[in-house]
Amino acid sequence: MTKKNVTNSIAHLEEHADYLFSYAMLKLKDVALAEDMVQDTLLSAVAAREGFTAQASVRTWLTTILKNRMIDHWRRQGREIAASDLVGDDGSGDSIDDFFDQAGRWFEMPNAYPSPDEALQSKEFWNIFEQCLSRLKSQQAEVFLAREMYGMSNEEIRESFSLGESNVWVLMHRARVSLGKCLDMNWMK
Amino acid sequence: MLNCKQASALMSRAMDEKLPFGKRMALKLHLFICDGCTNFSSQTFLLRKAARSFGKCRHCKDLRLSDEARQRIFRALKDVQARKD
C-alpha cells in the first residue's frame, strides 16, 4: 500500500469513529472509557493492514474489534453477564414472537404518542430512551443506530454489515417493537 | 388480511424504503381498522425523531466524539502509521 493510500484509509476510518463511540457509550456509559475503546479499536485496525483494505464491511469488522475490547474489559472486571450479552448475540431469548400471539395479534397493544415534540422536551423521556437503547440486543442496536442516528439507507446497512435484505427488515422490526414496548413500560403508563 | 405481526413488520420496512404497491394497500387497510398498529406507527415516528435529535439533546450524555477526543485519536493513529512506514 502506498503512503497516500494509507492516509486515505485513516481518513476513511474517521467516518466510523462516531458510530463506534456511540455504540461503546450505550454499553459502557463512560465517556473516557468509550474514547479509549474507540482509540484502541482504530489502532488495531491500522495495525492489521490486510483486514483494513476489505472496505465492504469495514464497519462490521471495526464493531467486532470494539466488541472484543469491551468483552475483555468486562471480563477483567469480573462482569461475565455484561460480556455474555455481546457474545451470544441475538440467537435466543429475543424473538418477535415475544410480542405477538400465535395469530399474530399484539399481546399488549402499543400506546399512542400523539405529541412527539412534547416528549423530546422532557428530561425523563431522554433518560428512558437511552436506557431502552442500551437494552437492545447488540446487532439490533447496531442496525438501529446506523439507520436512525446516522441516516444510512437499508442498502448501505446491508453492505457495511454484510446482511441480507430480509435480515435488515427483521432486525429493524425487532428493534422498533422492542424500543416501543420499552417506552410503553417505562415512560407514559 | 394482514395480522398485526405482519403489519408492524411492513410498517417498519415502510419507514426505510418504499413498499411495493400491493403491500402498501394491504397495510393501509390494516391500519384503517387496527388501533394497536396505528399506535405502533406513532411510536416508530417518535423513535425516529428521538434518534435524530439525540445528538442535539441537552439532557443526554453526548453520543458523538468530542472534537478534542477526535483529534487526539487521529493524531495517535497517524503517529503509529508514521512509525510503521
Q: Which residues of B touch A96 (CB under 8 A)?
A: 5, 9
- Confidence (pTM): 0.78
* Residue B41, domain extent: 4-84
Domain count, chain B: 1
Per-residue confidence band for A92, with pLDDT thresholds at 50, 70 and 90: very low
| DSSP at A57 | G
- CA dist A181 and B2 (Å) reads 21
Give pLDDT, residue B21.
Answer: 97
Mean pLDDT (whole number) for A159-167? 87
CA dist A134 and A23 (Å) reads 9
Cβ atoms within 10 A of the Cβ of B65, count?
Answer: 23
Residues of chain B found within 8 Å of residue A3, distances taken between Cβ atoms: 85
pLDDT tens profile B5-63: 999 999 999 999 999 999 999 999 999 999 999 999 999 999 999 988 876 665 565 67
Within the 39-78 window of chain B, which residues sit less than 8 Å (CB to CB) from chain A? 39-40, 42-55, 57, 59-65, 69-70, 72-74, 76-78
Complex ipTM more than 0.95, yes or no: no
Find out whether A183 and B43 touch, Cβ atoms under 8 Å.
Answer: yes
